[in-house]
Amino acid sequence: MLTAALRKELLLQWRSRAQFMAVFVFGAAALLLFSFAVGPVAEMLRQFSAGFLWLGLLLSSTLTLAESFHTEMENRAMEGLLLLPANPRALYYGKAIANWLQLILLGIALIPVMVVLYDAGTTRVPMLILVIALGTAGLSAPGTLYAAMTAQVRSKQTLLPLLLFPLIVPALLASVKATSLIILGDPMNQMRSWIVLLASFDAIYWSLCGLLFGNVVEE
Amino acid sequence: MYDDNNRFPRLPWIILGLGVLFLAIGSYIGLFVAPPEALMGQVQRIMYVHVPTAWNALLALTFAFVCAVIFLFKSDWKWDARMEASIEVGVVLGFLLCCQGSIWAKPTWGVWWDWDPRLTTTAVLVFAFLGILALRKFVEDPARRAMWSAVATIIASVDVPIVYYSVRWWNSLHQLQSSPSTVSRQFWLPLRMNAFGILFLMTAFIMLRARVASMRLKYELVPPPALGETI
Amino acid sequence: MNGMIPGGWSFVVAAYSVTAIVLIIYGASVIARLRQETARRNHD
């Protein structure tokens, strides 16, 4: 049931890959704008590159997440899906995983932008990808839940970030810190604590949101 | 059918009056009777309102969490009304806490915000629960509104300890000196009096605000017939 | 932290005033809304 839901989601995303391109351009543009806020001071840009990357990812994620329930809302497919003898939990995890994968791809796509704009290169790419995976997982779990809620409400564009941003503060902090350690160096070996924090956040929210999703979509 | 619990209609007003009394007396003692503290001087007196506000803000939001959980299991409108009330009161107290903390930080640290983990967590909390209040405003169906805000409240409440620890860890890497204990040597009397004062005020506010919420709800669920119509 | 913080009174007054103002304004708004709802209920 989960694999069916997941397969459907990935198919939907593949069909709307133009949307992914648009979100990527948005993210890259955001990274560019951040550099204008700081000024062309190479050392400072490099110092804050992790923060910029994750802020860019966070802002882009609101677009991705909001879009993920767009098809359901358009054709009133939500009710149709729920009438099937499928678990709403499968629907949730299918969407959350699909969103997560899309965000990981977005994060990876933004790495070269970050490297170029902020001179923030690193050799520890697998570690960086791990941090991106864990951080975006933290965005995707509550984000998908709130996207399901706000999709059915007017003023959805403002409500989703309003609800999501305060919530993911720990994930944001940890992701920025961990990424910063990768780019700038980790002399005191703090990486592990941040990874553990991220992993705990993910574990808690992937289970909690799945549990509560049924309450959000029931009639 | 839901009926607002007016078994003791006068009770909130009595509690309100007690709250004002305790807070007035406690503040008077804190301001004029208690001696200034050795290290911080007069600024220490801010703690006599800041600490009680902190306790009660946390209490209000904890109660909101409890109401949310109970609502999920019992689906009783009463608990939705109480949850709405305690979220609103918690947000107001949390906002007040940030103001007080800021006023305390300026003379102490020279900046308006010192990224203290407790205060920073409070700020994040205020935003989170303000978002939930906004969510309530935008959802028209009462059942859905109640369910969704209960879910959001649980999600936000679970986040509180996580936010606190992450900010504390994040902050400790930069702060060269530790924050002085905010509950350093002080006169216990004004603290306790103000604690009860704000507790009573908070309780009264929640009771009255819950009454407002349940009256509105009643109106929504059974709107009166329009003029000229018969049922 | 060494020594006393001079001239702290203005901050103390500010903190207590903010507390009083916020509590009074919020209390007044709750009471006002309660009056409004009661009036609406009694009207019908």
pLDDT in tens, A81-132: 665 556 788 889 999 999 999 999 999 999 999 999 998 888 889 999 999 9
Contact C5 B100 (CB under 8 A): no
Which subunits sit against B, judged by 3+ Cβ pairs under 8 A?
Answer: A, C
Q: What is the pTM of this model?
A: 0.90
Per-domain residue ranges of chain A? 2-217
Minimal Cα–Cα distance from B135 to chain A, Å? Answer: 7
Query: B-contacting residues of C 2-31, CB under 8 Å?
Result: 3-9, 11-12, 14-16, 18-19, 22-23, 26-27, 30-31
Pair C22, B96: CB distance under 8 Å: yes
Per-residue pLDDT 10s for chain B (231 aa) are 334 456 778 899 999 999 999 999 999 888 888 877 767 778 888 989 999 999 999 999 999 999 999 999 998 999 999 999 999 999 999 999 999 999 999 888 888 998 889 999 999 999 999 999 999 999 988 999 999 999 999 999 999 999 999 999 888 776 654 555 555 555 788 889 999 999 999 999 999 999 999 999 988 888 766 665 555
CA A120 to chain centroid: 21
CB contact under 8 A, C19 and B180: no
Q: What is the DSSP string of chain B?
A: ------SSTTHHHHHHHHHHHHHHHHHHIIIIISPPBTTTBGGGGGHHHHHHHHHHHHHHHHHHHHHHHHHHHH--HHHHHHHHHHHHHHHHHHHHHHHHHHHHHHHHHSSS----HHHHHHHHHHHHHHHHHHHHHH---HHHHHHHHHHHHHHHHHHHHHHHHHHHHHHHTT-SSPPPPTT-S--HHHHHHHHHHHHHHHHHHHHHHHHHHHHHHHHHHSPPPPTT---
Chains C and A touch (3+ CB pairs under 8 A): no
CB contact B98 to A (< 8 Å): no
For chain C, say whether B9 makes contact (Cβ under 8 Å): no
Across the interface, do B53 and C19 touch by the CB < 8 Å criterion?
yes
Q: Where are the domains of chain B?
A: 12-172+187-221
CA–CA min distance B117, chain A (Å)? 12
Taking one residue from B and the other from C, the number of pairs with CB-CB distance under 8 angstroms is 92
Chain C residue numbers touching B103 (CB-CB < 8 A): 11, 14-15, 18
